[in-house]
Amino acid sequence: LLNKPIIIDKTPVFIGTSIGVLFSDERYKSADVMLRDADTAMYQAKEKGKGRYEVFDTSMQLKVQNALALEADIRQAIDLAEFNPHFQPIVRLSDNKVVGFEALARWQSHKRGFVYPNDFIPIAEETGLVKSIDLQVLEKSCVALKEWEKSHQCEEIYISCNLYCEHFFRPNLPEEILEIIQRVGIKPAQLRVELTERALLDNKDVVLENMNALKAIGVKILLDDFGTGYSSLSYLHRFPIDVLKIDKSFISNIHDQDKHKAIIKTIIDLARNLNMATVGEGIEHSADADLLNEMDCDYGQGYYFAKPMSLQDVNSQQLIGKIL
Ligand code: C2E
Ligand code: MG
Ligand code: MG
C-alpha cells in the first residue's frame, strides 16, 4: 500500500518507509515502552538500508543500552580529563631523525581501563563529544611540548593533532586553538593539525577560512589518510594544505603490488609539485622505509620506527631528535 505513489497536483510522489515490528509480550506493561522498542527496531531497519522492516529483539535493546552507557562514560571522562595523547614519532626518511610526533588519543578510564580510539571515537563522533576530546588531547600535547622545550631546548620538534571534521565547520576554531597555544606558551609552529577529506567534501567556505586563519597563526595543516577517500585533486589545489599523509593501506601493500607503488609515487610527485611535504603512514618494515625514501617521500611513521607511546616512554627513551 505504501509503495503506491500519492498524487499531489498531478505529480506522483513516492514515499519510503522503514518499519519496526514488535510482538506483544508479558514484559510490556506500558505503551511507552512498547513504542520505544518498536522505535529501536525501526532505526535498525533504517540503518540496514531503509525501505524494510525489522522485528525487535532484546539484543537491539542491549546495543542501544551499551551505546548510551558508553556515551555517558565518555561525557564523564571528558570532565575528569581522562583522555591523553600517546605519541608516535615521525621521522625524516633521509636520516631517520625524529622531527615530530603524532598525538593519538588514549582513554585511561577509571571504569573501563585503557581504551583505544576505535572503541570510543565512533560514538564520540556520533554524539559530537569528539570535539571536546580533541581539544583535551591537543592541550595536553601542547603541555608536553612545553615540557620538552624546557628539558631539551628544542623548538623544532612538533606535535600533530587529529581534529574531527566538524571542528572546521565552527568559525571560532582558530581562536580556540590560539587561546590554548598562548595559555600553554608554545610556539604556533610547534603545533600541527590533521584533518581528513571529510572536512573538505562539501567545499564549505568556513572550512577554507578556518584553514587560512590557522595558517596565518603559524599552525601547519596535514591531510590525513590521503588516498582512501575521494582523493580529489581539486582539494589539494583549493585548500592550503602543507603536508599529505599517505594512508597506511597503500604502504602495507607497497611490495606486493606494482599498482600501489605507482599510486604512491604519483601522490609524492603531485605533492612535491604543489609544494607540499609527504608523510608515509604505517611503515612496518625497513624495506618500506627504504622504498619510500627512494621515491622521495619526505617523512615516515610506523611500527618499524616506533609504536605510539606515553609521554613517560618518549622521555625515558630520549626520543626527541633521536636517530631511529
Ligand atoms: P590516524 O590519524 O590515521 O592514526 C594512525 C593510526 O595508525 C593510529 O591508530 C596508529 O596507532 C596506527 N599505526 C601507526 N603506525 C602503524 C603501523 O605501522 N601499522 C599499523 N597497522 N598501524 C599503525 P590509533 O591510535 O588506533 O588511531 C586510529 C584512528 O583514530 C586515527 O587514525 C584517527 O583517525 C583516530 N584518532 C586517534 N586519536 C584521535 C584524536 O585525538 N582525535 C580524533 N578526532 N581522532 C583520533
Ligand atoms: Mg592522524
Ligand atoms: Mg592516518
Residues 299-323 pLDDT 10s: 999 999 999 999 999 999 999 989 9
CA angle, residues 207, 187, 193, in degrees to nearest 5: 30
The least confident of 143-152, 250-259, 311-320 is: 250-259
Q: Collect all residues with Cβ–Cβ distance below 8 Å to 122 and sequence separation of at least 6.
A: none
Supply the residue whose CA is at minimum distance from atom 2 of ligand 1. Answer: 162
Across the range 242-257, mean pLDDT stands at 88
227 within ligand 1 shell (Cβ under 6 A): no
- Of 247, 232, 157, the C-alpha closest to 197 is 232
State the amino acid at position 242 in one-letter form: D
Cell numbers at residue 277, please? Answer: 611535504
Across the range 11-16, mean pLDDT stands at 93
Q: Collect all residues with Cβ–Cβ distance below 8 Å to 309 and sequence separation of at least 6.
A: 86, 87, 88, 317
Q: What is the pLDDT of residue 203?
A: 84
Output the average pLDDT for the chain: 94
Residue 78 near residue 133, CB atoms below 8 Å: yes
Instruction: DSSP for 41-57, please give it.
Output: HHHHHHHTTSSSEEE--
249 within ligand 1 shell (Cβ under 6 A): no
Q: Classify 4 as helix, strand or coil.
A: coil
Supply the residue whose CA is at minimum distance from atom 10 of ligand 1. Answer: 308
248 within ligand 1 shell (Cβ under 6 A): yes
Supply the residue whose CA is at minimum distance from atom 34 of ligand 1. Answer: 162
Residue 247, pLDDT > 90, answer: yes
Helix axes 173-184, 205-217, angle to 10 degrees: 20
- pLDDT band with cut points at 50, 70 and 90 for residue 27: confident
Across the range 224-230, mean pLDDT stands at 87
Q: Collect all residues with Cβ–Cβ distance below 8 Å to 120 and sequence separation of at least 6.
A: 70, 74, 107, 133
Q: What is the pLDDT of residue 25?
A: 85
Residue 121 near residue 49, CB atoms below 8 Å: no
Q: Which residues pair with 87 in a beta bridge?
A: 103, 309
Count other Cβ atoms within 10 Å, centred on residue 103: 27
- The rounded distance, in Å, linking the Cα atoms of 292 and 290 is 6
Cell numbers at residue 15, please? Answer: 514515499
- The rounded distance, in Å, linking the Cα atoms of 259 and 262 is 5
- The rounded distance, in Å, linking the Cα atoms of 46 and 60 is 13
Across the range 165-172, mean pLDDT stands at 96
Shortest-distance atom of ligand 1 to CA 86: 25
Count other Cβ atoms within 10 Å, centred on residue 108: 15
Residue 201 near residue 230, CB atoms below 8 Å: yes
302 within ligand 1 shell (Cβ under 6 A): yes
State the amino acid at position 62 in one-letter form: L
Across the range 17-35, mean pLDDT stands at 92
Q: What is the pLDDT of residue 155?
A: 76
- The rounded distance, in Å, linking the Cα atoms of 281 and 308 is 12
What pTM was computed for the model?
0.90
288 within ligand 1 shell (Cβ under 6 A): no
Q: What is the pLDDT of residue 122?
A: 96
Across the range 132-153, mean pLDDT stands at 95
